[in-house]
Amino acid sequence: MKLRNLIMGIFVSAAVFVGCKEDDPKSNELKIELSSETLEFDAPVADTKTVTLVSTRDWKVKDAEKLPEWIAINPLSGGATLNGTTVEITVTANAGTNRSESVVFTIGTLQTTLTVSQVGEGGSAEDLIVYHNDFDKELAVNSSGWPFLDSSDAWKNEKGTGISSVEYASSAVSVRTGSGFANSSNEGNTASVYAGSGKNNIFFASGNYFQVRNITLDASKKDYKLSFGAIRSVYGAAAGGSLFDANQFSVYVSNDGAKWVKLDYTFASGTAQDAKWDLATSVFTLPDNTSKLYLYFTTTEASTYRIDDLDLSISSVAGAAIDFSTGVELVGGSTGGDIVGTPEGDGSEASPYNVAGALAATNALAADSPSEEVYIKGIISSVSEIDTGTYGNATYYISDDGTTAGQFMVYRGYYLNGDKFTATDQIKVGDNVLICGKLINFKGNTPEVNTGSKIVSLNGKTDDDTKRLSVSTTSINVSAEAESATFKVSGNVSWTASITEGSDWVTILYGESGNGADDVVLELKKNESEEAARTAKVTVSTTEDAAVKSYEITITQAKKSSGGSGESVLLYTLDSTGDLQGSNNSYAGNCDITVDGITWNVNGNTQINPWRLGGKSITDTDRTVYSKTPYDKELTKIVLTLGTASSITVNSCKLLYSTNADFSNASEVAFGYEEGDIELTNGDVFPANCYYKFVFNVTVSGSTNRFVQFKKVAFWGAE
């Protein structure tokens, strides 16, 4: 018995010993590890890298179907292995900003995370932010009512590259938290499309506005994206009664804070939301060299609209083209008028107005009635736009102390001596200027120096002190029979002119060199070729320290005509690229303009050069330029010159000509729209005593004016 018990005890001890033996790690230990927790792709190109995954159980990528399209994992799952599984991570090319994604590998109750990052061509998204405000500096407090923006700083939480000179203006817009019916945007707010920053938002009353003013831009950038969280909430409204309506909530931009262009915007969800936060976005392209931007938000509906997380960033793609010349005045949207300091001067050259004096004098003017020319001195406080192209003018502000307080707008003024601007760095903030121009109280609410002013002195230097060179034109078109051409050189430096192309048919008859203003006279040979026009180039340059040291003038001579009666010469030109203006500034209106005995009716804006034909929210609509006086000579060809087609659909173009003033029994020449010269012929001659009509059938989507540029038309025929 004792022996039996002893043997049984040995077996039990052995069993206990076996039960305490270390488990096989493959079967019992839970383990999932990666060879690295981060994987960085340091180039914006498509690439593949690997990591090693060790797992004691079957594993998979969690929520693999939710991974963004730019990242791919192979394999997405696998079995247990202590030796490690190679997992490939592939990224696509990244033309956008830097990006990052967390990839979770799991064996059920245990998981590990791999952070995959890739640089983008656009760099850091943070670096692209020009202005951002989540309105969450501190929680707004409702004591005796929600505070208006001008009486609280709780909402001022801006950041970005353009905030150094930012100012605000508002009327009856308040800062509020998320209490009540319309909750503030919050992270994880699943009831709404847009998960925002939380805390505060700003609340609009009917007809009131919120402005962000003087956002500084990099003048070399043109493409921008504006976004903001948006909600509309109507107490007690039935389903659909709180849809966010873009017709009731308007957003505008401006480059001078006085004239505003409306933006179209879309929602992230594709459609307006009913009492839910969504993200509204507008992508737009500004004119060249725009250095300031102003934002304006307003609603026509009483107390139902809120916005949050306002952001202006540089965009990687172009958007709707903004034409500031089409801007409109808005309530509270003007600048200036507030006199800061003591008015001084009488406006004469010996005693120029200071800015306070100029403002006082302008405020006393009747609306839209310009003064006589006066002199104003000041310090440039901000620069909105410098055009170095067709117009060569600049819009900027001056004040008595160089700050934006009490600043006064100089609208589309010129450089020293009235010359066009040729470089964007010719003026800058901080420059002392003496200006000669006319004062005007535009629309009775925007005091400014009227268009056409000139800088008399810049930082104490006058026109005589500042080296400059310019030419009257950089493009000359002549007929095949032309034997001479002339252009003017302006400035106060010594210069030389030389032929760099076409010396076999162009020589400089006068003006190979000069000092200051003078003519360059060219002698031309007739073009005997019936096959092609030809070009020559003349370079005018200086070795002195002028802002622009060299200009190239292109001379284009037409080919010899092979049809019609006699040689083809230029007989008549209607040219809108110079100073020719009509009385109409509406894109849908029209006016008559008489040039060299022929009266033309133009359907478009003729107060801008070149003329603009177009409109807004139109479909299959004709815009026309036609003669009301017949031209008495036969024509061999008509050369039409067109400019930019700005965000407009040109459905068709045609030229009608008829001996009847009502264009009955008219003949037609169809042509395609293209920028530059378009030669129109009919296979024979255009008869004498014809009326001519240019017809552009266009479509414009949206409520912003879009246009085609009608530059000029030249009539060619026998002498």
Q: What is the pLDDT of residues 158-177, one digit of tens each?
A: 999 999 989 888 877 889 98
Distance (Å, whole) CA 494 – CA 642: 36
pLDDT at 489 over 80: yes
Work out whether strand 408-416 and strand 432-442 pair parallel, antiparallel, or are unpaired. Answer: unpaired
User: DSSP of 150-206, one letter per residue?
Assistant: GG--TT--EESTT-TT-EEEESS-EEE-S-SSSPPP-TT-TTSS-----S-EEEE-T
* Mean pLDDT within 710-717: 93
Listed residue (297, 240, 312) closest to 273, CA to CA: 240
Give the Cα separation of 227 and 214 in Å (integer): 18
What does the pLDDT average to over 474-496?
83
| Most confident of the following: 292-296, 557-561, 665-669 | 292-296
Q: Which of 424, 366, 429 is nearest to 398 (CA)?
A: 429
Q: How far is CA 712 from CA 146, 672, 687, in A?
A: 58, 16, 21
The closest alpha carbon to 488, from 557, 555, 413, 553, belongs to 553
What DSSP character marks residue 149? G
- Predicted confidence (pLDDT) at residue 528 exceeds the cutoff of 90: no
> Tell me, what's the pLDDT at 180?
36
Average pLDDT over residues 6-33: 52
- Check: CB of residue 178 under 8 Å from CB of residue 206: no
Q: Mean pLDDT of all residues in the chain?
A: 84
In angstroms, the Cα distances linking 653 to 30, 624, 680, 696, 698 are 75, 10, 12, 5, 9
What is the C-alpha separation between 83 and 76, in angstroms, rounded? 18
- What contacts 524, CB < 8 A, 6 or more positions away? 478, 482, 483, 484, 485, 505, 506, 555, 557
Residue whose entry in the numeric block shows the structure tokens 């320290």: 545
> What residue ranges define each of the domains in the chain, with the CATH number in brackets?
27-118 (2.60.40.10), 126-326 (2.60.120.260), 355-462 (2.40.50.140), 469-560 (2.60.40.3450), 570-718 (2.60.120)
Task: Report pLDDT digits (tens) over 239-249.
Answer: 556 788 888 89
Higher pLDDT: 25 or 408? It is: 408
> What are the residues whose beta carbons fall under 8 Å from the beta carbon of 417, sequence distance 6 or more?
454, 463, 468
Sheet holding 518-524, edge to edge: 469-471, 484-491, 518-524, 506-510
* pLDDT classification of 183: cutoffs 50, 70, 90: very low
For residue 602, the SS3 value is strand
pLDDT surpasses 70 at 413: yes
Any idea of the CA torsion for 366, 368, 369, 373, to the nearest 10 degrees?
Answer: 120
Q: Residue 561 — pLDDT band, cuts 50, 70, 90?
A: low
Question: How buried is 408 (Cβ within 10 angstroms: 0-12 exposed, 13-18 middle, 19+ buried)?
Answer: buried
Q: For residue 102, what pLDDT is reported?
A: 94
Q: Which are the contacts of 40, defined by CB distance < 8 A and separation ≥ 6?
A: 117, 118
Give the pLDDT score at 17.
40
Residue 73 has pLDDT above 70, yes or no: yes
The C-alpha torsion from 585 through 589 and 594 to 599, rounded to 10°, is 170
Confidence of residue 97 (pLDDT cuts 50, 70, 90): confident
Rounded to a whole number, what is the largest CA-CA distance in the chain? Answer: 145
Q: Count CA atoms within 13 Å of residue 5 on its CB side.
A: 2
Q: What is the 3-state secondary structure (H, E, C) of 197-210?
A: CCCCEEEECCCCEE
Length of the chain: 719
Query: Distance between CA atoms of 41 and 176, rounded to whole angstroms?
Result: 43
- 615 by Cβ neighbours in 10 Å (0-12 / 13-18 / 19+) ranks as buried
Other Cβ atoms less than 10 A from the Cβ of 84: the count is 14
Label residue 606 left, alpha or beta by phi (over 0 means left) and psi (-120 to 50 means alpha): alpha
